[in-house]
Structure 1
Amino acid sequence: MALHSLRFRLVDSPTSYGAKRRARRAAWLSNTFPDLAEMSVLDLGGRVESWAGLPVRPAHVHVVNLEPLPAELPDWADADHADACELPTEILSRRYDLVFSNSVLEHVGGHERRRRMAVAVRELAPAYWVQTPYRYFPIEPHWVAPGMQFLPVPTRVVIARRWPLAYTPGKSYEAAMRQVLTTELIGRAELRYLFPDATIRNERLMGLTKSIIAIRKP
């Protein structure tokens, strides 16, 4: 429990390093897209509340997620329950100024589904920002476990169940297996392949690349 509390202090609390890193990323986003406050944004896999407290918020945000939808939405947001790799026609027929996705690409379920998501991202707006944790950073970010992404599946399942810095240590075998099999970090080569018209930026920690971001400006 002490280590799990440490995770909260380091990663999840409002004053943690993780929170400060997310704030810097938000500033980077608004600096990259100076017209963000006037933009219509499609957020694949995000949450409405993530946008609510930003210093610069888009004029309109359309969130698409497989999670349950919020009971109430602000007037600047829409939300749909849908798969980012199999978007319904009513979303594919729309156009946005920017498609945004943060730490979702590694969870969609294999290269083919990542490719489908990338096609939708590139077609739905003239600009996009797609961030994903970097496979070769030495700490696996979801479990905060050194080198976990390079281990065999059975070993990763054991870590997912028992590692005290995981979000929910002590989960069932089935839940841990599902989480492990739907977390697949990628490197720069695949991100460049998925988004050939993007600039790839590195987000660093202590000089090492922690996450990679595919960015296309309008």
Structure 2
Amino acid sequence: MALHSIRRRLVDSPDSWGAKRRARRAQWLSETFPDLAQMSVIDLGGRVDTWERAPVRPKHVHVVNLEPIPGELPEWAELDYGDACALPEHIAKRRYDLVFSNSVIEHVGGHERRLRFAESIHALADAHWVQTPYRYFPIEPHWVAPGMQFLPVSLRTTVAHRWPLAHTPAKDRDDALQSVLWTELIDKTQMRHYFPQSTIRSERIFGLTKSMIAYKLPGA
């Protein structure tokens, strides 16, 4: 319990170090897209409550996720159940001002699926903002575990099963293995491959890249 409270102070609580980094990233988003409040945005893999807390909220937000759909939504929000790597036709044929994705591409399931994810992003809008943790930052961000991403799968599974700073503790070893197999951090070369026309911005801590943001402005 004491160790889990450390995670809250580092990452999860509203006044945590992680929350401050997320707030700074939200500021970067609004600075990069100064017309954000007038834009229609599709958020691939996100949540509506992220935008409820945002300092600048788009005119319309369409969230697409594989999580269960809640009942009531604010009037500015739309929510669909869907796979961002193989979008249903009624979503794929629409156009938006901006595609947004935060910490999703590392969870979609390998290179082929990341290609499909990037294709969806390029097809839905001229502009995008795609964030993902950087593979070579020394702390694995999902488990807050030093160097975990460099271990063999069996050892990563052991860490995921037993490490006390995980966001959601694994129920058993099989649950831990599933979490490990669905988490594959990527590097800058991969990010540039998926988004060749984008600017890649590095979020740094103590001079080290913690996460990457691939963004493309409207008409660029």
TM range (shorter): over 0.9
Q: Paired residue for 2:99?
A: 99
Aligned amino acid, residue 130 of structure 1: V
Q: Paired residue for 1:164?
A: 164
2:65–2:82 CA contact under 8 A, matched in 1: yes
RMSD: 0.7
SS of the residue 1:175 aligns to? helix
Q: Paired residue for 1:135?
A: 135
Aligned amino acid, residue 121 of structure 1: I
Matched residues in 2 for 1:76 and 1:178: separation?
A: 35
Deviation of 1:166 after TM superposition, in Å, equals 0.9
Deviation of 1:19 after TM superposition, in Å, equals 0.7
After TM superposition, the structure 1 = structure 2 runs for residues 104-123 of structure 1, keeping only pairs within 5 Å, are: 104-123=104-123
Matched residues in 2 for 1:172 and 1:48: separation?
A: 30
Deviation of 1:65 after TM superposition, in Å, equals 0.3
Deviation of 1:170 after TM superposition, in Å, equals 5.0
Matched residues in 1 for 2:117 and 2:28: separation?
A: 23
Matched residues in 2 for 1:170 and 1:118: separation?
A: 30
Deviation of 1:168 after TM superposition, in Å, equals 2.8
Give aligned-pair identity as a percent: 69
- Matched pairs, number: 218
Matched residues in 2 for 1:181 and 1:74: separation?
A: 35
Structure 2: gaps spanning 5 or more residues: none
Matched residues in 1 for 2:132 and 2:109: separation?
A: 14
After TM superposition, the structure 1 = structure 2 runs for residues 38-187 of structure 1, keeping only pairs within 5 Å, are: 38-187=38-187
Aligned amino acid, residue 199 of structure 2: T
TM-score (norm 2): 0.98
Deviation of 1:94 after TM superposition, in Å, equals 0.3
Answering whether residue 31 of structure 2 is matched by residue 31 of structure 1, we say: yes
Deviation of 1:171 after TM superposition, in Å, equals 2.2
SS of the residue 1:85 aligns to? coil
Deviation of 1:36 after TM superposition, in Å, equals 0.2
Q: Paired residue for 1:203?
A: 203
TM-score (norm 1): 0.98
Range with greater deviation from structure 2 (203-212 or 167-176): 167-176
Aligned amino acid, residue 185 of structure 2: L
